[in-house]
């Protein structure tokens, strides 16, 4: 029984320089022998150990220099499961299996019901019941033609996860298992219709402005270019701001909701008890683009680089698994001398042009 407790499940994923989205960590030399050239190109691999001492050591390495792999929707997921144990020991097991799971996780403190929903659940038998006598045992795995329809996402109240889990079943003892997350990103084509945004708004006999943006759809490294034209100004404006907002709506029946309501800037979280949904608004970045009172006919240029936003931008998501949606808005705010705020929001659509961005 004590021997089985010391068995260590380990993951090794092949390196892909095109898909790597974070720096490589240093891998201990004593683990380099676990590479399987027949399954992957000869390269350094990433290992995650479940042993107590080694786990603490590797958690420190991962914190300092973490590494995770990104896959496109059509790519296969392959690697090696490595089992290690002290020399001269023997471990009896009831079978070893590996699972590939795609999951939507909901915050239980916000949403009632099941905490997660699996939209992908694949399992393969790696080994029949038997014994492990070798100090190191490598078992390759390969999940082919997986339909990964959603991107990896981690929000305030909801997350989309893809992970590989290996399970070693034991008699009369809990199974030994280990999970390794992977990132799935979907490279998209630019929308065929990408018209300019042009709108006139204002307050009757007090303020009349016209704002214009060159297009509605932007990739995640794009630059928003536009202008604001003051057609009528009869109030004392102090300054003007432009912000990028992200609205995350989660809960049951998101697809049937009317998502065109204006966002209350003073209330970042809203709950619809009738449909059991929650909407949370986050200001990703805010710039002051004008200081002082404008005059009639003045034009204020707008230029905002999306790649400069420190938050993790994602494409626009619409009713993912009918559980959540993520939308982005440009919020134009005018503040007068009495600190009254006049704002207008315009939705923009974001899409992914390249893997890793």
Residue range 298-349, pLDDT digits in tens: 999 999 999 989 888 999 998 887 788 999 999 999 998 989 898 899 999 9
Query: For position 306, what pLDDT does the model report?
Result: 93
pLDDT digits (tens, 9 = 90+) for 110-165: 666 667 889 999 999 999 999 988 999 899 999 998 989 899 999 888 899 999 99
What whole-number distance in Å separates Cα of residue 238 and Cα of residue 227? 18
pTM for the model stands at 0.74
Burial of 324 (C-beta count, 10 Å sphere; 0-12/13-18/19+) = buried
Average pLDDT over residues 170-174: 91
Residue 62 has pLDDT above 70, yes or no: no
CA nearest neighbour of 44 among 56, 31, 57: 31
What whole-number distance in Å separates Cα of residue 136 and Cα of residue 179? 19
Query: For position 31, what pLDDT does the model report?
Result: 28
Query: For position 56, what pLDDT does the model report?
Result: 40
pLDDT digits (tens, 9 = 90+) for 270-300: 555 445 778 899 999 999 999 988 988 999 9
Query: For position 18, what pLDDT does the model report?
Result: 44
Residue 103 binned pLDDT confidence (cut-offs 50, 70, 90): very high
CA nearest neighbour of 178 among 103, 98, 242, 119: 98
Average pLDDT value over all residues in the chain: 77
């Amino acid at each position: 029984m004590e021997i089985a407790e010391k068995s260590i499940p380990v993951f090794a994923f092949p390196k892909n320089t095109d898909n790597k989205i974070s720096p490589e960590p240093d891998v201990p030399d004593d683990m380099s022998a676990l590479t399987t050239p027949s399954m992957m190109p000869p390269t350094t691999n990433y290992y995650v150990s479940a042993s107590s001492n080694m786990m603490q050591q590797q958690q420190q390495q991962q914190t300092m220099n973490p590494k995770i792999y990104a896959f496109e929707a059509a790519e296969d997921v392959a690697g090696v499961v490595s089992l290690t144990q002290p020399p001269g020991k023997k471990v009896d097991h009831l079978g070893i299996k590996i699972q590939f799971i795609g999951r939507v996780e909901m915050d239980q403190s916000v949403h009632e019901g099941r905490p997660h929903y699996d939209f992908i659940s694949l399992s393969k038998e790696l080994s029949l019941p038997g014994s492990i006598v070798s100090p190191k045992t490598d078992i390759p795995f390969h999940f082919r033609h997986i339909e990964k329809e959603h991107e990896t996402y981690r929000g305030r109240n909801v997350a989309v996860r893809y992970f590989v889990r290996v399970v070693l079943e034991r008699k009369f003892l809990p199974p030994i298992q280990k999970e390794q997350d992977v990132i799935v990103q979907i490279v998209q084509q630019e929308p065929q219709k990408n018209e300019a945004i042009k709108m006139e708004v204002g307050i009757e006999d007090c303020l009349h402005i016209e704002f214009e943006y060159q297009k509605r759809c932007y990739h995640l490294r794009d630059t928003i270019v536009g202008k604001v034209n003051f057609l009528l100004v009869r109030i004392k404006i102090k300054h003007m701001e432009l912000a990028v907002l992200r609205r995350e709506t989660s809960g049951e029946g998101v697809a049937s909701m009317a998502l065109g309501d204006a966002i209350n800037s003073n209330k970042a979280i809203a709950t619809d008890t009738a449909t059991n949904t929650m909407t949370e608004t986050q200001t990703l970045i805010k710039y002051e683009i004008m200081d002082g009172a404008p005059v009639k006919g003045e034009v204020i240029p707008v230029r905002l680089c999306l790649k400069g936003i420190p938050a993790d931008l994602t494409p626009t998501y619409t009713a993912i698994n009918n559980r959540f949606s993520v939308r982005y808005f440009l919020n134009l705010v005018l503040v007068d001398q009495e600190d009254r705020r006049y704002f207008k929001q315009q939705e923009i659509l974001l899409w992914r042009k390249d893997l890793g961005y």
